[in-house]
Chains A and B, each alone.
Chain A
Amino acid sequence: MDPSEVEFLAEKETVKIIPNFSLDKIYLIGGDLGPFNPGLPVDVPVWLALNLKQRQKCRIVPPEWMDVEKLEEMRELERKEDMFTPVPSPYYMELTKLLLNHASDNIPKADDIRTLVKDIWDTRIAKLRLSADSFISQQEAHAKLDNLTLMEINTIRSFLLDSLNCMYKLRSNLQPGSSKGQAMDY
């Protein structure tokens, strides 16, 4: 799974938009959208919101959590806690990126938000690395992935799994008894 796939999944999240056109309900396989009344907020998936935004057909209302104060609080909490704290949205990173890239004019203090989310992301990734390190060094059998988002897991998964495989091989070579057998295999 690469990041673009995760982003694709994130595009299914809903976001509020304020359309500047009028359209009846549209009936899609994934569900009904609309009706669109000019000036009246309506919930649509991110992909549609971005499409409409690019065509200048709507304004995007940033999600509740995309607010400097709330993010600051979250960042502080994230820094204070050793464990992962709950994130505002399972796709917070993707949504921030998508919305800020395409609709930064509709989001107040877009730059601050970008920095804050990046800070939170960095803190979490650092934690993730740290816990991966302790996971390996203490040779734990399993780890809990509470409050981790798909994107975060995705960044570390391929590397971690490969390295675990490698280490397993190396370790099994080290063990007496099996080393012979292993050697014989080669």
Chain B
Amino acid sequence: MPCERKPMRYGHSEGHTEVCFDERGRFIVTCGNDGDVRIWEGLDDDDPKFITVGEKAYSLALKNGKLVTAGSNNTVQIHTFPDGEPDGILTRFTTNATHVTFNSSGSRVAAGSSDFMVKVVEVSDSSQQKTLRGHEAPVLSVTFDPKDDFLASSSCDGSVVVWNIEEQTQVISWPLLQKTNDVTNAKSLCRLAWQPRAGKFLAVPVDTKVHLYERGSWDHVSTLSDDLLTQPINVVTWSPCGRFLAAGSVGGLLTVWDANSKLCVERQKHEKGFTVCGLAWHPSGGQIAYTDTEGCLCLLDGLSTSASDGDAPKAPAKKPAKDYDALFDDDDDDRLVDEGLSGANSPVKKREDEDEDDFLMPATGRVRNRGAFLDDENSLDTGSLKLGRDKFGDDDNDDNDTGSAIVPPSAAPPVPLRPVYEGPLPTHPQKAFQSGSTPAHLTHRFMMWNSVGIVRGYNDEQDNAVDVEFHDTAVHHAMHLSNSLGHTVADLSQEAVLLACPGTDELASKLQCLHFSSWDTNKEWMVDLPSGEDERALCLGRGWAAVATSVQMLRLFSIGGVQREVFSLPGAAVCMAAHGEQLMIVYHRATGFDGEQALGVQLLQLGRRKRQIINGEPLPLTLRSHLTWLGFTAEGTPCYVDSDGVVRMLNRSLGNTWTPVCHTRETCKSKSDHYWVVGVHENPQQLRCIPCKGSRYPPTLPRPAVAILPFKLPLCQTSTEKGQMEEQFLRSVLFHHHYGFLSSGGYEVDEDGQTRSQKEQQELLMKMFALSCKLEREFRAVELAELMTHNVVPLAIRYASRSRRMALAQRLSELALEKSNQVQEEEEQDEEEPEYSGIRRPSGFGQSEVTGRRHSNRQREEEEEEEEEEEERGEEEDAQEMETEETTETRKRVNPFAKEAGSPVMPSLTPLGKVGRANPFKLAGSTKPSAPSGQPRVTNILDNMTSSRKSAPLAGSAGKANKAPVLKPLAPRPKPRSKTQSTLLHMTGTKAASKKTPDSTEPPADQQKQPEVPPPASPAENTENKRPKTGFQLWLEENRKNIVADHPDMEETDVIKDAMGRFRTLSADERLSWTERAKGQSGDAADLKKRKRGGEGGEDVEKETGPTGADENIAKKKKSLDPSSKLSAFAFNKN
């Protein structure tokens, strides 16, 4: 028998609470330790009315518009209901009353008190009191016999007593309970309950069981128990029809028995397992409200007890018609008939029937309306049906003897407990909402609160209006619109206000747009949605508006009102958000189970390049929560908040995953406080929200003030220094991604902010590095160094060496080398990029940003290198001795490592120099993969690296050799250098870097025709009037004869073509050597012969060409060359 457990909500402060329904079932009334009586118009009521009755309220009872409460001032008071006017004091005790209750007619009130007395008072005349004395300890509970003859009470002295009210005497007393001295020490509250109407049974909770005593004979007729009940039962209540008995226990277990069959028909566990201390049955029988000792109010909805009652009167009507069918068929209908035939004697079959019904439900996709019970027509219907039936029952009672309507328990067939479906239950799918709006049922509410402004909706007797107010009055002045159409949803952007109303029988659902930024005079347009189609969610982007409708359709309009697109959504829309050209839609992917929502998310890029970035992936939510806010950060990163207060942000760099960045509830002081998010900013990192005390939504008045929350990633051990820094670093990285996204989208980027955050990240890394050094975690230190940009690694090396960690420094220097290689590689990719950027760009917008940064890094590194070189020129000797002897002077000790740090630059720069020259070959290889020995680009570079590294130790001049080709392309770069030199540790903006790139590289067009490409003409080369030859030409000169011999009949052009092909098949190193030779030739003719001779030697070429190249450069740029070459030599020696 499935019933739905509604989410609990906080009603009172901790302590004893009680709950009851008013007679018509409209209100739930609770009282609690805070002395307030709250009147809830259903569980979803966010602003319950409250009546303060005292400092504490121990118990309450409600009947005939009179609310009786037991307060801490030792009185029992009356208030009118629902107005809450004080209506006098009913009675007083010497201490506080513990339990009050009305009799069935509402004419009398019984109250039990801690002063061992029970009083029965006439409501109309409080002077007519009857006092029942006899208990020897505080009274726990009192209950009236429905016929008003008797009164039962339980007490801490362990007894349950039935009194004759008129005679004020004890009829019978059972010693059933454990003795205690006070109500607070009692194991169980032992709330008694007398069966309503017939009054046949008195239910007494005794430990984990409920004893039923028969009225009159006072015999213990039966016991209701359940195996799952392990803790004492606190409170029992009969259903209004008197057939079912509900019990709430200390452990938070709720059990419902059928009193006839003594079977457990329903079990529910309290959401948090708090002790249930108040239990009330809705007059219709379809709901049970309960409260716990933590002050929470919960509701069980959809109890089918009433439904089964409701079925009964229907069945006889059907009987004649179906009588014959019953003989032949065995389907569901017949069960009903059977039921009709066998009457109330077959509760089991009924239940079976209901079970089947409920199993069918998910299968047929018919979701039962489980919204606020006020809207729930079903429950009202069954209620009225049941009432009708109850009247019948009453008649029966009058006709027959007492309680004949209810089958005596002994007569009920002993049927074993039927298996109840206890698997996962489907969740009610959450309704569509606008993020930044408060619930639609409020008369004054926010229809939208976003970063642009506030849209407020008023819908009361005097006025139905919409107020639009802008945070920045520069956007537009405030507007007041009359809301004759009854708009319920709204969105607001810098350009327009979008409003929509649901359709009615006559009118279609309308979409109204106030395009206030329009330059023409017509600032408004309106569109009717097709009939039967209602708006669900809407949003405004830049230059467009989107509406999701009830038929799972999404309609896109331009801001001027042109219908641009329409497409179907994969599920019912829940919420939409827009930012610039991005549109995010969250919809129901499927039915969730056990309180979960199954939501999917789509992220679309509109505008020029239309595409889908996230296509219908599940949206992760906290367990048992729903979506409460969806939007973008001001910088355009998708974000959302769930009902548990967790803010998640899209991590574009990790395959569009969602990272929780803040848990707003953690900062709340009280359990019932919430933060209502209105905006998220990444730069500066701000979560803008409105603190709501004791509610989920802010009221419109007084005007709520925005507060700012910091972000905090839920990392482990954030109390430790390490955890803190890790969290900061990760957060900084995460909130840094938007720069890449923005720049890829062609937006202006706050470069200051970007460099600041980069610097912050590197500083954090350095701090973490230092920390792990301190903790002797060298491996971790290297891991951290791997995260650093390669220009910070030298600092790490310096730190390591200063703290005498040679092994670490060693590893770091290797790492530095690797890093610069990577930079190199990426640079090459970057250069090649223009050729197929069309393909690459969309997939990885972060790429350009990264490379841009690398550029600046490289540039910076050069600065550092040069500076260090300058300052160290005099110390070369010391530096070289570094390996053998420990120099004591710090400066000397530091410097060698600095050199080492600098030295990796050379290999990194070597290929850079070659990029201009060598790249064409690589391209040729990559563009023509069919070429037999066309090596992949990566190995090519690695080859270069290893060769240079190998050659380095061989000769001291090798460094020079490596350096030689490097500086030529770098030469025309004094400008950025001078700029950065002043701010050494300050990173230069990416713009400078990207501007620089084309300078240092060849135009891509040249790369295509590599053989003809002359090496970039450096001033030195230009001075010599020789025609610059390429490697290919040199090679051609030598091999021409072979080619001609092979193909004697070839034309000259064919020969060249063939030669080109052959040249390409050469290994990269060979080709390189030819290029080198070509350079050497053009540079110094005198060395030509020697080089040619040596050139045959393959790898040695580099060494050979070295001096010549170096010569040129020494002439040109002596300063930087000399020391660095030696440094590099030193660095490699170390290896």
Contacts and interface: CB of A to CB of B under 8 A. Distances in A.
Interface of A: 16, 18, 20-22, 38-41, 56-57, 59, 61, 108
Interface in B460-491: 470-474
Contacts of A22: 472, 474
14 contacts: A18-B705, A20-B471, A20-B472, A21-B472, A22-B474, A38-B470, A38-B471, A39-B451, A39-B453, A40-B471, A40-B706, A41-B705, A59-B703, A108-B702
- Number of chain B interface residues as a range: 10 to 19
Contacts of B473: 20-21, 38, 56-57
Contacts of A21: 472-474
B688 interface: yes
A87 to B, nearest CB: 23
A126 B708 CA distance: 43
B472 to A, nearest CB: 4
A40 B688 contact: yes
- Name the residue among A20, A39, A108 with the largest chain B CB count within 10 angstroms: A39
B706 A39 contact: yes
Contacts of B688: 40
Contacts of B472: 20-22, 38-39
Contacts of B451: 39
Nearest to A107: B702
A48 to B, nearest CB: 17
A21 B475 CA distance: 9
A61 B704 CA distance: 10
A56 B477 CA distance: 12
B704 to A, nearest CB: 10
Contacts of B471: 20, 38-40
B450 to A, nearest CB: 10
A42 B696 CA distance: 25
A124 B1110 CA distance: 90
Contacts of A20: 470-473
Contacts of B470: 20, 38
B705 to A, nearest CB: 5
B687 to A, nearest CB: 12
Contacts of A59: 703
A40 B690 CA distance: 11
Contact of B708 (A18, A40, A61, A108): A40
Contacts of B474: 21-22
Contacts of B708: 40
A62 to B, nearest CB: 9
A59 B821 CA distance: 57
Contacts of A41: 705-707
A12 B471 CA distance: 26
A117 B471 CA distance: 32
B707 to A, nearest CB: 8
Interface string B671-715: 000000000000000001000000000000111011110000000
Contacts of A61: 705
Contacts of B707: 41
- Name the residue among B471, B701, B703 with the largest chain A CB count within 10 angstroms: B471
Nearest to A37: B471
Nearest to A106: B703
A16 B706 CA distance: 11
Given A40-B688, A108-B701, 7 more contacts: A20-B471, A20-B473, A21-B472, A39-B472, A41-B707, A57-B473, A108-B702
Contacts of B706: 18, 39-41
A22 B473 CA distance: 9
A21 B701 CA distance: 23
Contacts of B702: 108
A109 B707 CA distance: 23
Interface string B178-211: 0000000000000000000000000000000000
B738 to A, nearest CB: 18
A20 B454 CA distance: 12
Contacts of B705: 16, 18, 41, 61
A85 B701 CA distance: 32
A148 to B, nearest CB: 32
Contacts of A39: 451, 453, 471-472, 706
A181 B688 CA distance: 77
Interface in B230-265: none
A109 B453 CA distance: 25
Contacts of A56: 473
Nearest to A56: B473
A162 to B, nearest CB: 46
A66 B385 CA distance: 56
Nearest to B686: A40
A140 B1100 CA distance: 105
B524 to A, nearest CB: 24
